[in-house]
A and B are shown apart, each in its own frame.
Chain A
Amino acid sequence: MSAAIMEVNAEARRILAVSISKLYASRTQRGGLRLHRSLLLSLVMKSARDIYHSSRESEGPPVGGEQPSTEEAMDACSGCPGEANPGHREPQPEPESVEPAPEDPEGCDGEITEDKENRSPARQSRKRRGKASAAPDFLPSKRARLEPGEERYAAAPLGSCCRAGAVDSLSALSLNRVIPAF
């Protein structure tokens, strides 16, 4: 990666991390969530994500194990305030803490073999939720999650996954660990 691109990437990730923490902090603000501020935060996050992705695309496929997880983080976060934040419940546009769809490797089309017994919770949930109402993953999840070992098993039946970087099932794990990597 060229130095300039790396710098842009680093800045984009930093801005994303700052934005997420601001979003999180605004939930406890006196006077309630401010729609205007939340909207601006989500626009910045979207900008950061787009710039990050476009700079990554210009550099080709990711190398190394660290990048897929950060990309997952970017994708996961893209599912939330980027599109979402003016969320689905007025006047509180905060995303609910649900598992974001893009993060779920079983969301890929095609090579999914039905394994009803070992579905991840996201699949089993019948709650209607769009990509847009997905929550940032750093927020505590209200549902139990599979442990790493179990999730790997569940993801294993997948052949290739449509999302680059998500092939490594480890990356589908809790993204709470990824955020500090920023």
Chain B
Amino acid sequence: LLRFYLCFCLSTDTLTALASSTLTFSPLVSTASCVSADIISTVEFNSSGELLATGDKGGRVVVFQREQESKSQPQRRGEYNVYSTFQSHEPEFDYLKSLEIEEKINKIKWLPQQNAAYFLLSTNDKTVKLWKISERDKRPEGYNLKDEDGRIRDPSTITSLRVPVLQPMDLMVEATARRIFSNAHTYHINSISVNSDLQTFISTDDLRVNLWNLEITDRSFNIVDIKPANMEELTEVITSAEFHPQQCHTFAYSSSKGSIRLCDMRQAALCDKHCKYFEEPEDPSTRSFFSEIISSISDVKFSHNGRYLMTRDYLTVKVWDLQMENKPLETYQVHDYLRGKLCSLYENDCIFDKFECVWNGSDSVIMTGSYNNFFRMFDRNTKRDVTLEASRENSKPRAILKPRKVCVGGKRRKDEISVDSLDFSKKILHTTWHPHENIIAVAATNNLYIFQDKVN
């Protein structure tokens, strides 16, 4: 249940001055790790960055809350502590199709905070749920008909009336399922996205995108349907979809063929006709048996300013300008040294791994995961990149988070790792970046790492 997480600081200068002595870090909480076998399947900061939610394969959601900064301990700035834990989804069985429905949480999306309670959407393969997380720190005491233990009082012993009063109690955080959006997906849900209108959201499976109103659970509108009349003609599936951050009528969805379609919901009820189509022609010189697999997009994210789209396929991250459809603005190689190993990666199933990608708050840096618990950051302005590792062994308290390097051939230097020594079972698929600060959360199998910078 408890996740072991270390915190280090990494300065934004890391990307440019790798050996900078200005780097410092505060060792934040390292709670005891009774690490269960549950693998983290999604991580997400809320829109203020105060809360961090993780979902796991066992259907549980753990929410961390940032500690308020205190003057007495300034160096323990903003640690994240466990705030709430709840079982979001349970395994289910579809009797009609004789299929088990996994309880694994595929995605969590927060709703912006509108009152004292927090709301998030969590989804497994088939069902989306809206959870309300609220605090209770008072309870009524002084009932007339029952005593403090809850036992019913004998009415004949009651001789006077009193008004119950609210007394303080230990803080209790409770999570309740407020809405359950089910029975709308034949295929497996891969993403959800909350609209900027804060009233609707979309849920996406392999072939369809459905639009929901947050208040209405018994009806959803299908807005994209790419199911062919004859399933034997299927050539493409939807891999992810997201609403535009500001335009409530615009959303984008990515496909297994490496293309992205931008749709405007004002044009028609069924958005089968895209208004923009982003695709880069394939380079014939790199064609292989696995070209289709590695061009499949695993994640699509709008930039915060709404001007760009970022996509992740197996070997690269691409940034697209919404105004330019025929090729990406920028392409970053995440781990091109794997290109020659695609056959083995196919055999051990790693080629099917779905990596996510994230923007930092100012859209100047993008981050994505790789193998061996490595994750990569690319600074779009300086064009510098860095590879870091999320591991306890290599992260000593007050130690600089050291950049890593993979040796691609020739002589291996002392600190480098050769491609053949990479551990492909240690993959970082899920990462998230604080909306305003340089705090990142990285999920490495069943461990959560939170890294933070400290500007001197």
Contact = CB atoms under 8 A, between A and B. Distances in A.
A12 interface: yes
Given A90-B231, A91-B97, A130-B232, A40 B293 contact: yes
Interface stretch (A42-50, A97-105, A142-150): A42-50
B354 to A, nearest CB: 9
Nearest to B207: A35
Interface SS of B by simple majority = loop
Nearest to B227: A90
A47 B291 contact: yes
Nearest to A130: B232
Contacts, number: 86
A35 B292 contact: no
B232 A31 contact: no
B206 interface: yes
Contacts of A84: 232
A156 interface: no
Nearest to B99: A32
A51 B231 contact: no
A81 to B, nearest CB: 10
Nearest to B294: A40
B206 A36 contact: yes
Contacts of B186: 90-91
Contacts of A15: 289, 343, 346
Contacts of B227: 90
Interface string B115-129: 000000000010000
Interface string A118-149: 00000000000010110000000000000000
B261 interface: no
Interface in A80-124: 83-84, 86-93
B27 to A, nearest CB: 39
A26 B291 CA distance: 21
Contacts of A37: 352
A12 B232 contact: no
A40 B314 CA distance: 13
Contacts of B346: 15, 18, 44
A39 interface: yes
Contacts of B97: 32, 91-92
Interface of A: 11-12, 15, 18, 22, 30-32, 34-37, 39-40, 43-44, 47-48, 51, 83-84, 86-93, 130, 132-133
9 contacts: A36-B188, A36-B237, A36-B256, A37-B352, A40-B256, A47-B289, A90-B227, A130-B232, A132-B232
